[in-house]
């Protein structure tokens, strides 16, 4: 089995023998737009602008209903199912949910044979042909900025709430140093607000998948997992013209079965090592945290870095463009975080310059801060896998933290 170029140094300590995968051939015929970014932008072209087109994707009727599990018998889904190498997917039964919460009683989280994050916070797959999850920045002082659940569109007649929908956050990031983030998009949201998704790509943000309907993925069957990934990847491809190589599991819920399917479909798993808990802010759904509670969490992180007790590695931080509360908290704290940390994307801190299978997008990283913004033609990729086609251009050695042995209970909450 061939090791993918670019992962050797990153996982040298674990001697991983990562399976080579290639660009998803089943997305080759997806129609792509002509009026979107074709390369990483020049900084002088990134500006504060409004999104004036609020129309849905023209082909939205060809997609599954929003925020529902897509059917598995759709011909396009079945075509993907038939192309995947199922010998590389471990035989792990779907997890059982009771009122939206996993039944952990029968799972041995100490042994954790399945590397199930929801039970053990495991981020190093037990299968050596799967890459390690990206969950923290190796270099002390780096802050990997991420936002889940976008692009945010507020479906309300209340103008006070509507003002928080995109491009509110995206404009704020432009105003604060043209700050870049990695954005984990829900597939259904992409086709519901394509102009906002396109704006994010134009601004130089890195776009990743966050499933179609934001569900606990380990509770799904294999084919249901494929359907979640397929429609999200197709939505991103049709709206943005890119095929992303990264995804983040909703609620962090992932095990080696789901990781394997994601990897075979061309995506690496991204998690986090710091959670702002903005998803739990009171005033929205069942949130229980006050604003002052979240203030305290971030203040503690800033103080730990200032006093030198946070000096082992950098961080990847969980935040959301979910509603007015999460966006306002992000905007409140970003300037202070920028003063204390080197705020970059997780891809940049991991030296991942090519976040998409299309090679015309080359992003700056910690090792190469200057990139070409000239559009090039994407190269064809061998469907059988080619070790010379680097999946991630990583050159840094990940510093590992000791994983918690305490089982993690998931909240029965619609979005994390």
Q: Are 262 and 220 in contact (CB under 8 A)?
A: no
What is the distance in angstroms between the CA of the first residue and the CA of the last residue of the chain?
36
**Per-residue tens of pLDDT for the chain, all 416 residues:** 223 333 433 433 357 999 999 999 999 999 999 999 999 999 999 999 999 899 999 999 999 999 999 999 999 999 999 999 999 999 999 999 999 899 898 899 999 999 999 999 999 999 999 999 999 999 999 999 999 999 999 988 888 889 999 999 999 999 999 999 999 999 999 999 999 999 999 999 999 999 999 999 999 999 999 999 999 999 999 999 999 999 999 999 999 999 999 999 999 999 999 999 999 997 766 778 888 999 999 999 999 999 999 999 999 999 999 999 999 999 999 999 999 999 999 999 999 999 999 999 999 999 998 876 654 433 433 333 333 233 333 333 232 332 233 333 333 333 34
User: What is the set of active-site residues?
Assistant: 148, 320
pLDDT of the residue at 288: 81
Give the separation between CA 76 and CA 96, rounded to whole angstroms: 27
Instruction: Give CA–CA dist 147/248, Å, rounded.
Output: 10
**3 state SS of 283:** coil
Residue 129 near residue 18, CB atoms below 8 Å: yes
Query: What are the tokens at 114?
Result: 């399945």
Spatial distance between the Cα atoms of 223 and 227, rounded to a whole number of angstroms: 6
Provide the residue count of the chain: 416
Identify the structural domains of the chain with CATH numbers, from first to last. Answer: 1-26+77-416 (3.20.20.370)
Both tokens of 105, joined, read: 């009683």
> Tokens 């949910």 identify what position?
97
With DSSP H G I counted as helix, E B as strand and the rest as coil, what are the percentages for the chain, rounded to 5? 30, 10, 60
Q: For residue 85, how many other CB atoms are within 10 A of its CB?
A: 11
Q: Which two tokens stand for residue 330?
A: 């992000």
Tell me the two tokens of residue 253: 């819920």
d(CA 361, CA 185): 18
**Alpha-carbon separation of residue 177 from 106, 201, 301, 415 (angstroms):** 49, 17, 22, 29
Tell me 183's DSSP state. Answer: E
- Rounded Cα gap, residues 143 and 157, in angstroms: 36
CA dihedral of 336, 342, 344, 350, whole degrees rounded to 10: -150
H/E stretch holding 142 reads: strand 142-150
244 φ/ψ angles, rounded to the nearest 5 degrees: -75, 150
């Amino acid at each position: 089995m061939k090791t993918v170029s670019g992962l050797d140094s990153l996982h040298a300590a674990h001697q991983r023998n990562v399976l080579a995968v290639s660009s998803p051939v089943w997305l080759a015929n997806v129609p792509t737009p002509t009026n979107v970014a074709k390369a990483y932008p020049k900084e002088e072209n990134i500006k504060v602008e409004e999104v004036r087109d609020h129309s849905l994707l023209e082909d939205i009727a060809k997609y599954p209903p929003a925020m529902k599990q897509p059917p598995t018998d759709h011909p396009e889904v079945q075509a993907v199912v038939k192309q995947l190498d199922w010998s590389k997917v471990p035989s792990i039964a779907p997890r059982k949910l009771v009122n939206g919460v996993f039944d952990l009683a029968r799972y041995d989280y100490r042994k954790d044979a399945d590397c199930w994050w929801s039970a053990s916070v495991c981020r190093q797959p037990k299968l050596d042909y799967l890459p390690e999850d990206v969950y923290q920045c190796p270099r002390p002082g780096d802050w990997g900025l991420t936002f889940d659940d976008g692009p945010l569109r507020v479906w309300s007649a209340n103008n006070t709430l509507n003002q928080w929908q995109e491009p509110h956050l995206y404009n704020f990031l432009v105003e604060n140093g043209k700050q870049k983030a990695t954005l984990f998009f829900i597939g259904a949201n992409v086709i519901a607000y394509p102009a906002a998704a396109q704006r994010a790509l134009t601004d130089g943000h890195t776009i990743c998948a966050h499933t179609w309907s934001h569900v606990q993925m380990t509770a799904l069957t294999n084919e249901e997992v494929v359907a979640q990934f397929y429609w999200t990847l197709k939505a991103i491809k049709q709206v943005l013209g890119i095929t992303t190589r990264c995804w983040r599991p909703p609620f962090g819920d992932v095990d080696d079965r789901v990781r394997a399917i994601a990897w075979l479909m061309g995506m690496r798993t991204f998690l986090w090592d710091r959670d702002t808990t903005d998803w739990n802010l009171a005033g929205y759904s069942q949130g229980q945290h006050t604003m002052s509670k979240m203030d305290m969490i971030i203040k503690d992180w800033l103080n730990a870095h200032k006093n030198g007790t946070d000096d082992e590695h950098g961080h990847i931080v969980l935040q959301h463009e979910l509603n007015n509360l999460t966006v306002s908290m992000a905007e409140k704290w970003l300037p202070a975080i920028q003063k204390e940390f080197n705020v970059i994307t997780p891809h940049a801190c991991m030296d991942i310059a090519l976040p998409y299978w299309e090679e015309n997008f080359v992003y700056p990283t910690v090792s190469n801060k200057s990139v070409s913004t000239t559009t090039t033609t994407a190269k064809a990729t061998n469907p059988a896998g080619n070790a010379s086609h680097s999946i991630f251009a990583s050159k840094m050695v990940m510093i590992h933290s000791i994983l918690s042995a305490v089982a993690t209970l998931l909240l029965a909450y619609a979005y994390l």
